[in-house]
Amino acid sequence: MILTLYGARHLTEPEKTCWIITGGDTGTENQCIGLAEALGLRAEIKRLKLKTPWRQLSPWFRLGFGRALAKDGARLDPPWPDLLIASGRKSIAAALHVKKKSGGRTFVVQVQDPRFSPRSFDLIVAPQHDPARGGNVIVTTGATHRVTDGKIKSDMEKFKDALEKLPHPRVAVLIGGQSKSHRMTRAVTERLAAQLLALVKEKNVSLMITASRRTGEENAKFLRATLKGDNIYFWNGGENGQGGDNPYFALLGYADHIVVTEDSVSMVSEALSTGKPVHIAALEHAPGGPFEKIGGGTPRRHDIFHKMLQAQGYTRPFTGALETWSYAPLRDTLDVANEIRTLLHMKE
């Protein structure tokens, strides 16, 4: 699939060719797309499907990788790209396969810590809560993403009629849900709904809510039934929501405060690009998930991520009240894109 990326620039020199390789996970894919967009490149997205035994084995197993790709998935054939941006477990062997087949000409950027020697890649983009470090590792505060001031401004105009009329203070509520690390139980859903409804009734707050597929149909149905009123805008997409395009960027723009569930590193990172107070709503931790402590000692990735952000003054827990504080908006995506542009000698 060829994706013409938002805001792509017309470069004076021949445009660099770019592939994005992922296993199809939306969150990790958007981290890669955000980087390509920030570089002004058109990227060809390749979502891999691996055959047995490559699907079950270590992502570093590359023996015979030319036969590893299923027919109904993306192909990895020349001409090889100038730039390859990859993320996720399934992408690792594929990225190194392309690097080898291109004779080292393809510049490989691995987004997120591959848990292997950084020297295998040209560049690794690792958030601070991952352990990867090295001379070719860029350590970011959060995840790269697709949110830009331009997209926010454009979508604010697009959804002006629905959102501008809502009185201040406006709270954007970004709800995720089930993941490897978290569970959105009915008890969690009822607690969050009660806290938000109390803000509307007691503090005259306006809510702008978006839920995801991971929220679950029953949870979303309960939230829609509970959180309704003149000062509440609820978008859930499809037949059960208000339909139409997702107003996600507009919600970030119109918000005075942002409440986001703790399961998504990407959503938290996107919210922090606005410089607005970001309150983290707790979910339940999944047994055995990435939130569990390793050997009863070191806490895993999500725990470290949220503790770091709170200690650095970026976020605060959502307890049902709204607080106001300031911080410098995160610009991880632009910082990484500028570094790639320098390394590839790309013009602005």
Tell me the pLDDT tens digit for each residue of 13-44: 678 999 999 877 888 899 999 999 999 999 99
Parent domain of 303: 149-329
Are residue 137 and residue 162 in the same domain, yes or no? no
Segment 228-238 shows an average pLDDT of 84
Q: CA 252, CA 237: separation in Å to the nearest integer?
A: 17
Q: How many domains does the chain have?
A: 2
Are residue 15 and residue 105 in the same domain, yes or no? yes
What pLDDT is attached to residue 244? 67
Task: CATH number of the domain at 66, please.
Answer: 3.40.50
pLDDT of 2 over the 70 cut:
no
Q: Which residue has the tokens 């299923």?
A: 70
Is 278 inside a domain boundary?
A: yes
Q: Is 289 exposed, middle or buried (0-12, 13-18, 19+ CB in 10 A)?
A: middle
Are residue 37 and residue 49 in the same domain, yes or no? yes
Q: What proportions of the chain, in percent to the nearest 5, are helix, strand and coil? A: 30, 20, 50
Q: Give the predicted TM-score (pTM) of the model.
A: 0.86
Are residue 35 and residue 91 in the same domain, yes or no? yes
pLDDT digits (tens, 9 = 90+) for 38-69: 999 999 998 876 655 555 555 555 544 555 55
Are residue 235 and residue 288 in the same domain, yes or no? yes
Is 275 inside a domain boundary?
A: yes
Are residue 338 and residue 321 in the same domain, yes or no? no
Segment 185-207 shows an average pLDDT of 95
Are residue 236 and residue 112 in the same domain, yes or no? no
Segment 148-164 shows an average pLDDT of 96
Are residue 160 and residue 131 in the same domain, yes or no? no
Are residue 137 and residue 178 in the same domain, yes or no? no
Average pLDDT, the chain: 85
Please enumerate in sequence order all residues whose Cβ is within 8 A of that of 2, keeping only pairs 6 or more positions apart, or say none. Answer: 42, 43, 44, 45
Segment 183-188 shows an average pLDDT of 92
